Chain A
Amino acid sequence: MNGSEINSNDNLPSAEILNCPKCRVALRVTGFLLTKNIACRKCHGIFNYSSGNLRLIKIFRKEKYNHIPIGSKGTIDGKKYEVVGFANYREAHTPYAWDEYILFSPIHGYSFLSVYEGHWNYLEQIILRPKQIVNDVNLNGDTYRIFNRYKQKTDYALGEFPWDITENSNTITEYINPPYIIVHDKGTNEETWLLGKYITPEEIKEAFNLQTHLPEQTGIGSTQLHASSASLSKVKQLTLYVVLSITVLQIILSFTAKEKVVFKDQLNIPANKTAGIVSPPFILENTLSGKSNLQVELIAPVHNSWMEADITLVNDNTGEEFHFEQGVEYYSGVEDGESWSEGQNYTDLTLSYIPEGKYHLNIFPATPDEGVGYFQLTLTQDVSMLSNFFIILLLALIFPVALWISVSSYEAQRWMNSDFSPYNTE
């Protein structure tokens, strides 16, 4: 018989039936020679099973509810199992309790389903011993970080077990690499390594065809994956490519920008404050899109004063006007023995989306200071826009940064249940 025959024929070997020596209820033995302990569902007695004989070793006083009934059959990872045992454990000297279901397959042996706060792990024994690296372990090149170490106490058991269920001296160590977990069960004379994987309640219900409700999930499971954690490494890589691409693109655009000075003149401020200045005409050259930006620089020799220019850029062909104001101010002095200065005599602004064509400027300068007699105006067509680069970069980074924060806070929450948290700096 092989595994595929078991799967396809839906047959598992029939169990041996024994009577409980205490209450006479029928007890099933599915594991035969592998079975070490049997727990009675009626009298809650734990019996040592050996050569077909049962010897009472303990009675549990409290009964616990098992969501998957003993004898349920189901398929996990393509392996057909029968639920042969159920145990409720507690971390010694703490209130932390969890359930474990013992699954048996005559082909694949024993496997386990453990559930803590509604989070399930499916565990199988592994022969390969993971490599210990300080506190952590490595299996097949993957590092599993230590998550928990404790001694467990059995509070309740039902069904059959391939080990002494009343033995409470073993040290259990859990190592995680979500969604995987390695569990090391070390006793005085023997040790067992289990490799597990997070399994959703929906998968459990489907595997065992359960109609009942499974325990509600609370918190984050030790091996539960963030819904988008798989995307994070791809997003990190993608973000790097995007940042590099936009940077390279910006460098190319900076080098290819025409930066053509179309108007530069030193203009005198009219004595008559209401008088304006009309500039000579100038041309905004043809571009690929027919539009370009236009940088306007204003320099004025202000000192403890200001100078303002009310400027209208007029398209001589269409009559379209762009009206804006520019100004400079600069102040300096000495106060309480310390010199200070504020402002500057230079300013610039960039007009967007200006159509090509013939233009002139209507300028109305204003200053309260008679000493500021002139100003210099420079218009440059098609300048590189660094602010656009930073805005696009910022927008491109919002998504990955938000994802990174979400995954990081999720991980921090996961490790709150651990004594070995890397987030604990105390």
Chain B
Amino acid sequence: MFKLRNYLIILAILLSIYLYAALTGWKFFGSNSEKWSPKQEKGHHK
């Protein structure tokens, strides 16, 4: 059963995480070791 108190706790946790991320520069789902390779999409049109 849904409990309002549980929702309030979840909101408090989310808000804390959001503020912590803002203070520390933590980007959710961000990566500090991004990879890149060309798609060479030109080839699709030739």
Chain A: residues with Cβ within 8 Å of the partner, total of: 53
Neighbour of B24 across the interface among A242, A246, A292, A335, CB < 8 A? A292
Q: Residue of B at shortest CB range from A340?
A: B45
The answer to whether A388 and B28 touch (CB under 8 A), given A322-B33, A349-B34, is: yes
A351 and B25 CA atoms in complex are apart in Å by 8
- The one of A235, A249, A349, A391 in contact with B29, judged by C-beta atoms closer than 8 angstroms, is A391
CB distance from A287 to the nearest CB of B (A): 8
Annotate B16-46 by CB proximity to A: 1 below 8 A, 0 otherwise: 0111011111111111111111111110010
Write out the residue numbers on chain A whose beta carbons fall within 8 Å of the beta carbon of B17.
392
Q: Could you say which residues of chain A place their CB within 8 Å of the CB of B30?
A: 293, 349-352, 387
The contact of A329 among B31, B41, B45, by CB within 8 Å, is B41
Interface centre among A249, A326, A352, A406 (most CB of B within 10 A): A352
**Bound form: Cα–Cα A389–B18 in Å:** 8
Q: Is the CB of B4 within 8 A of A246?
A: no
Given the known interface contacts A228-B1, A289-B24, the answer about A352 and B32 at a Cβ–Cβ threshold of 8 Å is yes
- Assess whether A185 is interfacial by the CB under 8 Å rule: no
Instruction: Please tell me which one of the listed residues A249, A288, A391, A406 contacts residue B28 in the complex, with CB atoms under 8 A apart.
Output: A391
Interface size on B, residues (CB 8 A): 36
Cα–Cα, bound, A121→B37 (Å)? 68
Residues of chain A within 8 A of B28, CB atoms compared: 385, 387-388, 391
CB contacts (< 8 Å) of B11 on chain A: these are 238, 242, 396
Contact of A227 with B by CB under 8 A:
yes
Pair A228/B2 contact, Cβ less than 8 Å: yes
Query: What are the residues of chain B within 8 A of A423 when measuring CB–CB?
Result: none
In the docked arrangement, what's the CA distance between A182 and B27, Å?
A: 55
The answer on a CB contact under 8 Å between B38 and A327 is: yes
- CB-based contact A231/B41 at 8 Å: no
In the complex, which residues of chain A have a beta carbon less than 8 angstroms from the beta carbon of B4? 231, 234-235, 238
Interface string of A299-343 (1 = CB under 8 A from B): 000001010100000000000001111110101010100001011
Q: Which of A227, A322, A329, A387 contacts B32 (CB 8 A)?
A: A322
B residues with CB within 8 A of A: 1-4, 7-8, 10-11, 14-15, 17-19, 21-42, 45
- Footprint of B on A, CB under 8 Å? 227-228, 231, 234-235, 238, 242, 245-246, 249, 253, 287-289, 291-294, 304, 306, 308, 322-327, 329, 331, 333, 335, 340, 342-343, 349-354, 382, 385, 387-389, 391-392, 395-396, 399-400, 403, 406
22 contacts between A and B (CB under 8 A): A231-B3, A231-B7, A235-B4, A253-B22, A291-B24, A292-B25, A293-B30, A322-B33, A324-B31, A325-B36, A326-B34, A331-B42, A333-B45, A351-B27, A353-B25, A353-B26, A354-B25, A385-B21, A385-B27, A385-B28, A388-B18, A403-B2
- A sample of 9 more A-B contacts (CB under 8 A), given A227-B1, A325-B34, A385-B21, is A235-B2, A238-B7, A249-B19, A292-B24, A331-B41, A351-B30, A351-B32, A387-B30, A388-B27
